[in-house]
Homo-oligomer: A and B are copies of this chain.
Amino acid sequence: MSTKQIIVKKFGGSSVANIDRVKAVAKRIVDSKKRNNNIAVVVSAMGDTTDELEELAFNISKTPPDREMDMLMASGEQISASLLAMAVKALGHDSIALTGPQVGIKTDGSHTKAKIERISAKRIRDAFNANKIVIVAGYQGLNDNQDITTLGRGGSDLTAVALAVALKANVCEIYTDVEGIYTTDPRKVKTAKKLKKITFEEMLEMASLGAQVMQARSIEVAKKFNMPIHVRSSYSKAEGTMIMRRNTKMEEIAVQGVTSNKSEAKITINAVPDKAGIAAQLFNAVSKVGANVDIIVQNVSHKKLSDISFTVPKTDLTKALKATQTVAKKLKAGEVTSDKNIARVSVVGSGMRSHQGIAARMFETLAKNKINIDMISTSEISISCIINQKQTEKAMQVLHRAFIG
Contact = CB atoms under 8 A, between A and B. Distances in A.
Contacts of A56: 19, 79, 83
A279 interface: no
Contacts of A79: 53, 56, 72, 75
A99 B71 contact: yes
A330 to B, nearest CB: 38
A96 B96 CA distance: 30
Interface in A53-67: 53, 56-57, 59-62, 64-65, 67
Given A19-B56, A19-B60, A60-B22, A69 B82 contact: yes
A97 interface: yes
Point out which of A23, A60, A64 has the most chain B C-beta atoms below 10 A from its C-beta.
Answer: A60
A305 B79 CA distance: 58
A89 B61 contact: yes
A342 interface: no
Interface in A324-380: none
B68 A72 contact: no
B68 A97 contact: yes
Contact of A60 (B65, B68, B86): B86
Contacts of A129: none
A71 B97 contact: yes
Point out which of A22, A69, A79 has the most chain B C-beta atoms below 10 A from its C-beta.
Answer: A79
A90 B71 contact: no
Contacts of A69: 82, 86
Contacts of A83: 56-57, 60, 68, 72
A71 B61 contact: no
A146 interface: yes
Contact of A89 (B65, B90, B147): B65
A85 B57 contact: no
28 contacts: A19-B56, A19-B59, A19-B60, A23-B60, A53-B79, A56-B79, A56-B83, A57-B82, A60-B87, A61-B87, A61-B89, A61-B90, A62-B90, A64-B86, A65-B86, A67-B97, A68-B82, A68-B85, A68-B89, A71-B78, A71-B82, A72-B82, A74-B78, A75-B78, A75-B79, A75-B82, A78-B78, A102-B146
